[in-house]
Amino acid sequence: MTKLFIFDLDDTLISTNYKYLLGYAEAIKFIEYFLGREAVRPEEIVERINSTDSQALKNSAKPYALERFPKSICTVFGELCNEKEVKYAQKDMDELARIVTETTFSISKDDIMDGAYKTLDFLTERGDELVLLTKGEYDFQMEKIKACALDRWFSRIFITETDKSPNLLNSILEEQNFKDKDRAYSVGNYFRSDIKPALEAGIKGIYIPNGTWKHDANSEGLKEALDSGRVIQLKRLSEIIEIYSKL
């Protein structure tokens, strides 16, 4: 019987987390050199960026807008300069934002995850329905999808500017006219944002941990979900092929 797979994009089908880490590295280098003798520990910069960015995520109507992360870094840069009485100008802010943006949000077809094409081919050949559900700015997400030629596998692509929710997942099932929730799976790399909403919607989850983003790192309830049998945890995407007969 046909199954429905709702795939996440970032760090499930394409690798993006490493670019954020590179963005942090570029920001730290810029700030440390700019502060000079007043430089602080890199760990302090990271902690302050994380705190500022977390607040921006909570308070923004569009938490996954591209400008959020560079803006959070520039806010920390300005605060540190003021605290250390180091003069800076708007052009310095603009340069830091440019460096972080270009590093973090570069797009390449080489970012496709190992085994992604093979896995999607396998599921398509078996007649399963494939849907892509990702969060972020529409144009940017579509650019990544097309750069990796992923659009050809999916019957529908959904892009949300807010967190995934049970209501959103149920609406996708309705649009696909897919009624058997026991044969529907959400595939993603974060339990909080990809798997937990699926369980609340009554569908199953395939959890493939990957990423270091603190906002989505909460795995509370994972053990219970695994014990229930409604979530399967894998080490890599292509393992779906190996365990397919058990789904």
Domain ranges of the chain: 4-15+109-246, 17-104
Residues 14-44 have pLDDT tens digits of: 999 999 999 999 999 999 999 999 999 999 9
Tell me what percent of the chain is helix, strand and coil, each rounded to the nearest 5.
Answer: 55, 15, 30
Q: Is the separation of the CB atoms in 161 and 135 below 8 Å?
A: yes
CA 61 to CA 197: how far, in whole Å? 20
For 16, residues 6+ apart whose C-beta sits below 8 A from its C-beta are 10, 111, 144
Domain covering 17-104, topology: Enzyme I; Chain A, domain 2 (1.10.274)
* Dist CA 230 CA 184 (whole Å): 11
Q: Residue holding tokens 């960015």? A: 53
Cα(150)–Cα(241) distance, rounded to whole angstroms?
18
Alpha-carbon Rg for the chain, nearest whole angstrom, is 20
pLDDT at 61: 85
In this prediction, the residues of the chain whose per-residue pLDDT falls under 50 are none
Beta bridge partners, 133, equal 158
Question: What CATH class is the domain 4-15+109-246?
Answer: alpha beta
Q: What's the pLDDT at 60?
A: 86
Give the strand order in the sheet containing 129-135.
156-160, 129-135, 4-7, 184-188, 204-207, 231-233
Q: H or E segment at 157? A: strand 156-160
